[in-house]
Amino acid sequence: MMLQLDQIETYLDQFHILQGVSLSVQAGSITVLFGRNGAGKTTTLRSIMGLAPIRHGQIRYRGEEIGHLSTYSIARKGIGYVPENQGIFHDFTVEETFRLAMQKNDDEQKEKLAWMLDLFPDLRHYWKKKSGHLSGGQKQMLAIARAYVNSNGLLLIDEPSKGLAPIMVEKLMFHIESMKQKTTVLLVEQNFMMASMIGEQYYLMDEGKIVRGGAMQELKDDADTRQKYLGIA
């Protein structure tokens, strides 16, 4: 198992946000975390990264307990993170963004970068351009590519479709799917139609708890559950 969360509980100030969240992500898969706004999806990803430290429970990455490590140590274990706001440094050029992200700058990372630039040719084209001048879709590509070159097995991606035009969302989902051959993805997404096309596993969150989980096809076939928790038929 690539990632396993076991009964994690997270508080933000006095608010009890995650209330015993358990889930697992298989190596080489795309697992999608669905849920309405405020369900706790983003906090789940932030807890995995140590940005919203857990109070109880365990997080295991490749079998190793990482739940109480600092964020930079978790990232160094090989988990790449794309936050909801993309976390792009607008004053940095695309080239500077990768220079910042590439810890080792060894052959392996260079190879990953080359693959990313093949996947997202716009980034190569705008190599010397400031990130702030990229389009919303290009910024998302940059955020994903930056996370990928610095990871060695797992990407956490938070709502990549947010604020993007439908055509761009489709393109982005296609790219994320093609990344599956190289990495494992835990994706938080509200766009059920798109995410269900690329995800193999799903979890459904509501009020800080996992309420359903399983093969994506099950959720596709279960209109009642979708209606109840996502408000879509």
Partner 1 sequence: MDVAINLLVNGLATGILIFLLASGLTLIFGLMSVLNFAHGGLFAWGAFAGVWLFGLTDSFLLAIVGAVVIGMLLGFVLERVLIRPVYGDHIQQLLVTLGGMLVISELLKVFWSPNPIRAVLPDYLQGSIEFGDIILITYRLFVIAVGVVVYLGLHLLLTRTRLGLIVRAGVIDKEMVQALGINIKQVFTFVFLLGAGMAALGGSLLAPYSGVIFAEMGMQYAILAFIVVIVGGMGSVQGSMVAAILVGVLGSFMAYFVPELSLAVNMLLMLAVLLIKPSGLFGAKG
Runs of H (alpha helix) within 134-165: 136-149
Residue with tokens 């708890």: 209
Phi and psi of 157, rounded to 5°?
Answer: -120, 125
**Residue from 51, 197, 211, 230 that binds partner 1 (CB under 8 A)?**
51
81/229 with CB nearer partner 1: 81
| Residue 211 interacting with partner 1 (CB under 8 A) | no
Other Cβ atoms within 10 Å of 168 Cβ, number: 18
87/214 with CB nearer partner 1: 87
**Packing angle of the helix pair 136-149, 166-179 (nearest 10 deg):** 10
**Distance, CA of 143 to CA of 145 (rounded, Å):** 6
81/120 with CB nearer partner 1: 81
143/169 with CB nearer partner 1: 143
Residue 46 in tokens: 């932030």
Contact positions with partner 1 (CB under 8 A) in 134-193: 146, 150
| Residue 70 interacting with partner 1 (CB under 8 A) | yes
Neighbouring residues of 137: CB distance < 8 A, sequence distance ≥ 6: 164, 165, 168, 171, 172
| Residue 49 interacting with partner 1 (CB under 8 A) | yes
From 71-79, 134-142, 166-174, 215-223, span contacting partner 1 (CB under 8 A): 71-79
Contact positions with partner 1 (CB under 8 A) in 75-94: 75-76, 81, 83, 87, 89-92
73/217 with CB nearer partner 1: 73
Other Cβ atoms within 10 Å of 208 Cβ, number: 20
CA atoms within 13 A on the CB side of 34: 29
| Residue 7 interacting with partner 1 (CB under 8 A) | no
| Residue 68 interacting with partner 1 (CB under 8 A) | no
Cβ(57)–Cβ(8) below 8 Å: yes
| Residue 101 interacting with partner 1 (CB under 8 A) | yes
Minimum Å gap between C-beta 138 and partner 1 is 18
Cβ(5)–Cβ(213) below 8 Å: no
Cβ(23)–Cβ(48) below 8 Å: no
Minimum Å gap between C-beta 142 and partner 1 is 12
103/227 with CB nearer partner 1: 103
Minimum Å gap between C-beta 57 and partner 1 is 21
Which positions lie near partner 1, rule CB under 8 A? 49, 51, 70-72, 75-76, 81, 83, 87, 89-92, 96, 99-101, 103, 132, 146, 150
